[in-house]
């Protein structure tokens, strides 16, 4: 697939996001890498407009995992797609927007425990240890240097910050989500 075909997918994505997502899902790996802009355009659409199924989301996640990270637009696409997929698969998580449970950001405090159906705003240098998040919304700030030690996310939605693609902690979370199929991610991966 050449650049022209990838460009056509990107142009068609806003008008036919569901159809284009299915087309992207069957592309070979090399063509898939060129179609990242189209995938990102689809992932920016409301989930209700695309109505993706679990199998297709998993297929696309696997292709993203096999795409070189140096590919143009890789990390912004991964973060947008991870948000899109977790939103599609986990409708029982809290809705977007405040109120958030904001942990004591910037102090390096350690939190642990089990949390369910809460929205967390994470930033600063917080440590979560031996924790389980179930059906939570996890909102990450761009300054997130959050350390996760033996943490599991089950059926959670992730909101990534603009320009968060260069933050190592955010990249690790996104990698774990892609590897897990978006429903149960553990960090560090085990």
In the chain, the percentage of residues whose pLDDT exceeds 90 is 63
pLDDT tens for each residue of 100-109: 776 655 566 7
Q: Is residue 38 over pLDDT 60?
A: yes
pTM, two decimal places = 0.91
Q: Residue 123's pLDDT is what?
A: 75
pLDDT tens for each residue of 72-84: 999 999 999 999 9
pLDDT tens for each residue of 42-70: 999 999 999 999 999 999 999 999 999 99
Query: At 110, is the pLDDT very low, low, confident or very high (cuts 50, 70, 90)?
Result: confident
pLDDT tens for each residue of 134-154: 999 999 887 767 788 899 999
pLDDT tens for each residue of 158-174: 999 888 888 888 888 89
Task: Find all residues with CB under 8 Å of 49, minimum gap 6, and list them.
Answer: 17, 18
Q: Residue 50's pLDDT is what?
A: 97
- Quick one: tokens of 57? 């989301």
Query: At 71, is the pLDDT very low, low, confident or very high (cuts 50, 70, 90)?
Result: very high
Q: Please compute the mean of the pLDDT values over residues 8-12 and round it to a whole number.
A: 91
| Cα 15–Cα 155–Cα 105 angle in degrees, nearest 5 | 100
Adjacency order of strands within the sheet including 184-187 = 110-116, 127-134, 147-154, 184-187
Average pLDDT, the chain: 89
Q: State the DSSP H helix or E strand holding residue 133, giving kind and residue range, or none if neither.
A: strand 127-134
Nearest Cα to Cα of residue 63 among 97, 96, 101, 24: 24
């Amino acid at each position: 697939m050449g650049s022209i075909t990838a460009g056509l997918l990107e142009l068609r994505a806003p008008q036919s996001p569901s159809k284009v997502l299915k087309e992207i899902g069957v592309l070979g790996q090399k063509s898939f890498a060129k179609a990242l802009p189209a995938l990102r355009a689809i992932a920016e659409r409301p989930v209700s407009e695309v109505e993706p199924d679990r199998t297709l989301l998993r297929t696309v996640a696997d292709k993203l995992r096999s795409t070189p990270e140096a590919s143009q637009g890789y990390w912004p696409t991964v973060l947008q797609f991870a948000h899109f997929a977790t939103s599609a698969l986990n409708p029982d998580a809290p809705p977007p927007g405040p109120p958030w449970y904001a942990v004591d950001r910037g102090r390096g405090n350690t939190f642990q425990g089990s949390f369910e159906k809460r929205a967390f705003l994470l930033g600063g240098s917080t440590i979560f240890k031996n924790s389980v998040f179930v059906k939570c919304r996890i909102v990450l700030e761009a300054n997130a240097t959050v350390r996760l030690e033996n943490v599991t996310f089950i059926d959670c939605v992730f909101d990534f910050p603009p320009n968060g693609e260069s933050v190592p902690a955010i990249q690790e979370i996104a990698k774990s989500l892609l590897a897990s199929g978006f429903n149960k991610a553990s960090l560090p991966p085990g």
